[in-house]
Chains A and B, each alone.
Chain A
Amino acid sequence: MARVGVFVCWCGSNIAKTVDVEKVAQAVSKLPHVVYSTHYKYMCSEPGQSLIKQAIEEHRLNRIVVASCSPRLHEPTFQRCIGEAGLNPYMFEMANIREQCSWVHDDKEAATKKAIDLTAMAVEKVIRNEPLTSKEIPITKRALVIGGGVAGIQAALDIADAGYPVTLVERTPSIGGRMAQYDKTFPTLDCAACILTPKMVDCASHPNINIMTYSEVENVSGFVGNFDVTIRRRARSVDMSKCTGCGVCYEKCPVKVPSEFECGLGQRRAIYVPFPQAVPNVPVIDREKCRKFTEDKCGACQKLCPTGAIDYEQQDELITEKFGAIVVATGFDVWDPSAYGNLGYGRYPDVITSLQFERLINASGPTEGKLVRPSDHKPPKNVVFISCIGSRDEEHGYPYCSKVCCMYNAKHALLLKEKVHDAQAYVFYMDIRANGKGYEEFVRRAIEKYGAVYLRGRVSRVFQVGDKLIVRGADTLAGKPVEIEADMVVLAAAMEAQPDAKEVARKLGISTDEYNWFSEAHPKLRPVEVLTAGVYLAGACQYPKDIPDSVAQASGAASKVVGLFAKPNLLSEPTVAEVDESTCAGCLLCKEVCPFSAIEPKVIYDKAGNPIKTVASVNEGLCHGCGTCVAGCRSASIQLKGYKDAQILAEVDTLAFASEDLTAEVSKA
């Protein structure tokens, strides 16, 4: 006999302001099987949960409905609560009267009516619920980290330090990511290489970390605790076990091409390591540029290599491994500012991006740290930095703030003065956003101690006159136009999602926002998780972040992975499909439509061992509980636990009449 308890939440005023919670509790109390119905200010709070537990005991409730926020937020909370009171956690339903009722409507009468319907619907469903039990699934205690930037490195180190093996996959020939390109970091002016390269080396020498560079994740299947991941290790054309990193090959290689790492300001060879501190220090051959591959000529590297490590025949390798958890740290890309035709990027060599500026002041950059103009190699005197290039600008780029530009502009203004003592920095800005530890002070230092001139306003045009760049803009605080004769213009280009972010998201089951940044499971409470269990986010693949934020999030993601691995086993979702063998005709249409190949034919035998018929059989380990098979079954012989036809049809029936009937019932009484 079903004994249902209904608990209607006020959520402070979030629900109670728009929904008459008392009326809802009263109306649903008229439903058959409802033996207790009440309302309370905060159902999810400790006293709220105690109220539920107490009512379960006092009224011998065996099914619970909570009408409050979205089940996507608090279903696990209340399931745990009723579990503690001795009920099966699946004898529970939630009515979403906040996100899908009180927050989206403002007419109290209509919202209350809707809330009654939704709560009654949950009651009718819970009456048809059955106790479900989870199965234990073993966990593969090995983590995959995708992306070898500072976030990926930090996550890999933290997981490895906790004692679990980690594979770190990086697409480029070396780990290090964007941070390896930077000169100094705000607000402490630590040299980026000095704090990053030791971590890269730690990664390489860590007994629990396996670094796979020049590799990409090809395919991901499986689920939390048991992902099957195929990784493509692209042909390096260099045998990693033989190479000693002596560098003879790239010294002698005759082919020069613009270096990606130097943002086109320097050159690399066809066989190259992206930067001197690369980890691993093993070159790769760019097969599109190498003359051996394009013209079948040269072969100098092979002839000169003292260890015979060059292997032109090497093929891509596909490696399939099992992982229990995946940390995604694929980072960001820099937006191309040529969309601003008026700023001359791509037309004038001395209009560069901030990342290019970073390379120009870097001691290991193309000029060995001597700040000179790309055009004539003379040190610049007047440098104009322009903020918000593609950020906070829906017309040309993105409406969001890229978060780090205000800070690196201040850093560049400051470093400019250190490199060229008589130089003058001008910074055009919209607002100065310096909200981090020591950030505001840092910006003040650039202005007050280093004399950077900050001009609040936009630049309308940059054009060349002789060897000068004329920058025309506005100083909106002084209320007048400004014209600066500059030697160099540096554009703080927006951070944008990686061009293949959508593809990566699809492989991993991550949802993305409208700009292709990866979406976290909850913006406040689950910032490192995604909706696919066992996949975590770190760094700027989620949204523009600076180094401290990326590292903090990476450690957060790592601790989630370690927390998962610390459990002996995982509990499976018990909402899987089940077959009624007595009515199943064995047509196996369900097998055809199952996205997870979880259905197999099974032969049923009589007592004498003679086959009677073939029926469908569900492998619960593989079933994800989508229910596609259920809707496909001709005889309704396969049902999804928790979402059976009878349950959903009862919901439809209830919604059709509940509020009218119940309101009438209440007024009668």
Chain B
Amino acid sequence: MSEEQVITKKPKGDAESQDGWKPKIIGFVCNWCTYAGADLAGSSRLKYPPNLRVVRVPCSGRINPQFILKAFQQGFDGVLVSGCHPGDCHYAKGNYYARRRIMLLQKILEYMGIEPERFHFDWISAAEGQKFAEVVERFTEQVKTVGPFKGVAG
């Protein structure tokens, strides 16, 4: 018996809705905490839906709100942003600036008619592999509830 056959559990592919739609999700994460947390999720062999693609930036402070708007423009159904916990930023306070920008951006997204369910901002440390997997799992489910992103109306 091959190794594949031994595994009786059905492998988990992309999370998809009943009609076969698979949400496309992009993540912008900082190198020092969340990216390392995502690596830890990997070395701990935790499982989460493969819908997410991660873009690595040095610090959440590097995340230009334009990146998030661009992602929606390109048809992503959800955007995840995560950095170091407050007080833990590798660059002392980059994440505080990120937090302020994101708070403003969330208002703009709302104004533009983009459902708040499509955007998630979190703090995930290098030690929180488990949290990373959970956040991705939960966020993917959340994006599924609002269906495919059809662009901004108007």
The answer to whether the Cβ of A106 comes within 8 Å of any Cβ in the partner chain is yes
Instruction: Report yes or no: B46 in contact with A627, Cβ–Cβ below 8 A.
Output: no
Query: Total contacts A to B, CB within 8 angstroms?
Result: 163
Instruction: Report yes or no: A110 in contact with B13, Cβ–Cβ below 8 A.
Output: yes
The answer to whether the Cβ of A335 comes within 8 Å of any Cβ in the partner chain is no
Taking the closest CB of chain A, its distance from the CB of B147, in whole angstroms, is 18
Per-residue CB contact flags for chain B residues 5-28 toward chain A (1 = under 8 Å, else 0) read 001000111100000000010100
The answer to whether the Cβ of A99 comes within 8 Å of any Cβ in the partner chain is yes
With the chains together, A109 CA to B11 CA distance in Å?
Answer: 10
Instruction: Report yes or no: B59 in contact with A121, Cβ–Cβ below 8 A.
Output: no
Q: Which of B43, B58, B125 contacts A627 (CB under 8 A)?
A: B58
With the chains together, A575 CA to B15 CA distance in Å?
Answer: 37
Q: Quick one: which of B62-78 are within 8 Å of A by CB?
A: 62-67, 70-71, 74-76
With the chains together, A648 CA to B48 CA distance in Å?
Answer: 24
The answer to whether the Cβ of A117 comes within 8 Å of any Cβ in the partner chain is yes
Instruction: Report yes or no: A509 in contact with B90, Cβ–Cβ below 8 A.
Output: yes
Minimum CB distance partner of A653 in chain B:
B74
With the chains together, A615 CA to B150 CA distance in Å?
Answer: 42
Minimum CB distance partner of B13 in chain A:
A107
The answer to whether the Cβ of A70 comes within 8 Å of any Cβ in the partner chain is yes
* Given the contacts A645-B66, A652-B26, A631 and B47 also touching, CB distance less than 8 Å: no
Q: Quick one: which of B93-148 are within 8 Å of A by CB?
A: 93-94, 97-98, 101, 125-127, 133
Instruction: Report yes or no: B61 in contact with A655, Cβ–Cβ below 8 A.
Output: no
The answer to whether the Cβ of A144 comes within 8 Å of any Cβ in the partner chain is no
Taking the closest CB of chain A, its distance from the CB of B90, in whole angstroms, is 7
Q: Quick one: which of A265-297 are within 8 Å of B by CB?
A: none
With the chains together, A634 CA to B126 CA distance in Å?
Answer: 31
* Given the contacts A72-B35, A107-B13, A626 and B94 also touching, CB distance less than 8 Å: yes
* Given the contacts A595-B94, A645-B64, A511 and B126 also touching, CB distance less than 8 Å: yes
Q: Which of A201-209, A390-398, A431-439, A512-520 contacts B (4 or more CB under 8 A)?
A: A512-520
Q: Which of A17, A104, A110 contacts B45 (CB under 8 A)?
A: A104
Report whether over half of chain A's contact residues are helix, strand or loop; otherwise say mixed: helix
- B93: A residues at CB distance < 8 A: 595, 628
With the chains together, A89 CA to B36 CA distance in Å?
Answer: 22
The answer to whether the Cβ of B80 comes within 8 Å of any Cβ in the partner chain is no
Most B CB contacts (10 A, CB to CB) among A511, A596, A624, A651 go to A511
Q: Which of A100, A111, A512, A649 contacts B38 (CB under 8 A)?
A: A100
Instruction: Report yes or no: B55 in contact with A99, Cβ–Cβ below 8 A.
Output: no
Per-residue CB contact flags for chain A residues 138-177 toward chain B (1 = under 8 Å, else 0) read 0000000000000000000000000000000000000000
- A73: B residues at CB distance < 8 A: 39
With the chains together, A70 CA to B65 CA distance in Å?
Answer: 26
**What range describes how many residues of A lie at the interface?**
35 or more
With the chains together, A627 CA to B94 CA distance in Å?
Answer: 8
Per-residue CB contact flags for chain A residues 90-123 toward chain B (1 = under 8 Å, else 0) read 0000001011110111111111011001100100
Minimum CB distance partner of A593 in chain B:
B97
Instruction: Report yes or no: A106 in contact with B59, Cβ–Cβ below 8 A.
Output: no
Taking the closest CB of chain B, its distance from the CB of A109, in whole angstroms, is 6
With the chains together, A627 CA to B24 CA distance in Å?
Answer: 27
Instruction: Report yes or no: B70 in contact with A652, Cβ–Cβ below 8 A.
Output: yes
Per-residue CB contact flags for chain A residues 574-590 toward chain B (1 = under 8 Å, else 0) read 01000000000000000
The answer to whether the Cβ of B42 comes within 8 Å of any Cβ in the partner chain is yes
* Given the contacts A625-B58, A626-B62, A630-B64, A99 and B91 also touching, CB distance less than 8 Å: no
Give 9 nearest A-B pairs by CB, closest first: A627-B62, A99-B42, A628-B61, A107-B13, A626-B91, A656-B74, A626-B59, A103-B42, A106-B11
Question: CB within 8 Å of B: which residues of A?
Answer: 17, 70-73, 96, 98-101, 103-111, 113-114, 117-118, 121, 506, 509, 511-514, 519, 531-532, 575, 593, 595-596, 624-628, 630-632, 640, 643, 645, 648-649, 651-653, 655-657
Please name 14 further chain A to chain B contacts, defined as beta carbons within 8 Å, in addition to the given A72-B31, A100-B41, A655-B53, sorted by A numbering: A72-B36, A99-B41, A99-B42, A101-B42, A104-B46, A107-B11, A107-B12, A108-B11, A593-B97, A595-B92, A631-B97, A643-B62, A652-B70, A656-B71
A-B contact pairs, 29 of them (CB 8 A): A100-B54, A104-B41, A105-B13, A105-B47, A107-B13, A110-B14, A118-B54, A506-B88, A512-B127, A519-B127, A531-B90, A532-B90, A595-B89, A596-B91, A596-B92, A624-B91, A625-B58, A626-B59, A627-B59, A627-B61, A628-B94, A631-B62, A631-B63, A631-B101, A640-B58, A643-B58, A648-B55, A649-B67, A655-B74
